[in-house]
């Protein structure tokens, strides 16, 4: 393993330290917790605060989405591990402007447990807390059990919509409803071509044999739905789009926002090759692409592969999506 590391055990703290130095115009560290990154635009009196958090290794998620009209505070966990309940609670405190805090996070056991504990702490202190749990990963559970699906890159759209709604001065219930509407409108799928290595472990935490790919893989290497021979990019794009759009079942004429994110070690060239085919496929289905994001938005250390997220838009979601914002990741 050849990496630009000092002590692997210090990787997260050094990552956060470098991030806040590089983006001091947007964020700062909480004075109460070195594992909480706070937007320089928060808290704002009378405005709902937005909090998220998750394990490190997905950069620019989660810290890269702290900023103006986006996430107000981010709880930072170890590599692929949930932030502590204390870090979530400190993030809630940092984001609180007196109108309550919406915690928008992914559907993972550790995050579910620690957010609930943090919400109880904050509620005892008089802070109103609402939560929305992202569950956009199509391959992680059937449609009939959508509440069991993992949250993946669709979380970015959830944060964008939630932050934009809060910026309008909406109530906590209204912000929660908008964020829920956003994630309900998202479907995502991942394809893995090569594994990643946890720095403190020193070897890949799962295997993908040369010449094969895993369809439906999770952001931590969770098993997908099938392993098959690696196909040309157009065939991979067609497969990803079919998985997402079959689950969506959108009528022709629908407007969508699209996100194609690399998983850490896939070149941007390849991502645009995928997107070219994906937009062609969406057009053939009668969809109208309102906006597209292509790049490394939600990674998995140095995993080879990509994720596709499609969010269906109505007038409200489109207006909120188009709201001006500023963060390191966008």
Nearest of 146, 152, 38 to residue 96 by alpha carbon: 38
Place of tokens 């219930």: 173
What is the rounded (10 degree) CA torsion for 166, 170, 174, 176?
Answer: 20
The whole-angstrom separation of Cα 155 and Cα 52 is 9
Place of tokens 């790049």: 295
Cβ–Cβ under 8 Å, residues 191 and 215: yes
DSSP per residue over 228-286, as a string?
EE---HHHHHHHHHHHHHHHH-PPTT-EEEEEEEE-BSS-HHHHHHHHHHHHHHHHHTT
Annotated active-site residue in 23, 58, 219, 248 = 58
Query: Is 290 known to be catalytic?
Result: no
Strands (E), the chain: 27-30, 33-39, 49-56, 67-68, 73-79, 101-106, 129-134, 186-194, 212-215, 226-229, 255-262, 288-295, 304-313, 326-327
The whole-angstrom separation of Cα 9 and Cα 192 is 26
Residues counted in the chain: 330
Cβ–Cβ under 8 Å, residues 178 and 215: no
The whole-angstrom separation of Cα 275 and Cα 287 is 14
C-alpha distance across the termini of the chain, in Å = 30
Query: Is 23 known to be catalytic?
Result: no
Sign of CA dihedral 313, 314, 320, 323: positive
Annotated active-site residue in 23, 219, 220, 248 = 220
Place of tokens 């909406």: 170
105 DSSP β-pair partners: 133
Active site residues: 58, 220
């Amino acid at each position: 393993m050849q990496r630009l590391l000092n002590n692997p055990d210090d990787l997260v703290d050094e990552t956060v330290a470098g991030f806040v130095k590089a983006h001091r115009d947007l964020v700062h560290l909480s004075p109460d917790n070195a594992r909480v990154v706070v937007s320089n635009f928060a808290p704002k009196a009378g405005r709902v605060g937005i909090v998220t958090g998750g394990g490190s290794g997905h950069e620019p998620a989660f810290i890269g989405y702290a900023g103006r009209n986006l996430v107000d505070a981010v709880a930072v966990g170890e590599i692929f591990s949930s932030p502590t309940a204390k870090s979530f609670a400190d993030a809630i405190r940092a984001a609180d402007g007196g109108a309550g805090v919406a915690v928008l996070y992914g559907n993972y056991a550790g995050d579910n447990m620690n957010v609930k504990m943090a919400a109880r702490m904050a509620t005892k202190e008089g802070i109103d807390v609402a939560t929305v749990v992202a569950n956009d990963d199509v391959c992680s559970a059937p449609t009939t059990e959508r509440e069991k699906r993992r949250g993946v890159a669709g979380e970015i759209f959830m944060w964008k919509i939630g932050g934009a709604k809060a910026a309008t001065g909406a109530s906590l219930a209204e912000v929660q409803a908008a964020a829920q509407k956003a994630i309900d409108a998202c479907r995502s799928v991942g394809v893995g071509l090569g594994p990643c290595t946890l720095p403190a472990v020193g070897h890949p935490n799962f295997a993908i044999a040369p010449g094969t790919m895993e369809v439906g893989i999770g952001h931590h290497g969770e098993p997908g739905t099938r392993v098959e021979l690696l196909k040309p990019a157009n065939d991979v794009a067609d497969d990803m789009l079919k998985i997402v759009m079959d689950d969506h079942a959108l009528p022709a004429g629908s407007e969508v926002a699209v996100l194609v994110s690399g998983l850490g070690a896939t070149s941007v060239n390849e991502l645009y090759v995928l997107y070219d085919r994906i937009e062609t496929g969406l057009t053939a289905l009668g969809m109208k692409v309102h906006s597209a994001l292509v790049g490394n938005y939600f990674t998995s250390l140095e995993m080879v592969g990509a994720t596709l997220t499609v969010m269906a838009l109505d007038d409200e979601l489109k207006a909120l999506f188009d709201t001006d914002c500023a963060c390191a990741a966008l």
